[in-house]
């Protein structure tokens, strides 16, 4: 799988946390090990009364020793990459969205190299569906 193609596909229409939440829990669900993506929602009173999830506030992807988080902020999302070993955060770096996307693409390509289902999910992402 071509790293640059995956990164370009992740950049498409991904200016907000809600879009990344949909991509990571929908299109890429088969590419990622179970439980490695979590989405935190912000629910208004109206959302609670109607039984809706609310708006995605934060997306966290845990792959190996890296944790990538994207949090809704004013304007563009706040992107962070954490290096963790056995649950202990050794480093926490706030990065640009482009650096975050490249790190996510790198992790996804690594995952696809080890798993045929992941490779197929990435092919669907790159193809736009």
pLDDT in tens, 62-112: 888 889 998 887 777 888 999 988 888 899 999 988 898 888 888 877 877
Measured from the Cβ of residue 39, the count of other Cβ atoms closer than 10 Å reads 17
Spell out the residues 6+ positions from residue 56 whose beta carbon is closer than 8 angstroms to its own: 17, 18, 20, 21, 39, 40, 41, 42, 72
Separation CA 101–CA 95 (nearest Å)? 10
Supply the pTM of this predicted model.
Answer: 0.72
Measured distance CA(59)–CA(70) in Å, rounded: 5
């Amino acid at each position: 799988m071509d790293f640059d193609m995956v990164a370009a596909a992740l950049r498409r229409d991904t200016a907000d946390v809600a879009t990344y939440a949909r991509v990571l829990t929908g299109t890429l669900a088969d590419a990622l090990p179970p439980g490695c993506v979590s989405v935190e929602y912000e629910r208004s009173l109206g959302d609670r009364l109607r039984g809706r999830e609310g708006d995605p506030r934060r997306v966290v992807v845990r792959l190996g020793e890296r944790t990538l988080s994207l949090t809704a902020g004013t304007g563009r999302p706040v992107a962070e990459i954490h290096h963790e070993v056995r649950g202990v955060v050794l480093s926490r770096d706030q990065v640009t969205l482009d650096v975050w996307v490249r790190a996510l693409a790198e992790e996804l390509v690594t995952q696809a190299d080890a798993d045929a289902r992941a490779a197929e999910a990435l092919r669907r992402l790159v193809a736009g569906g």
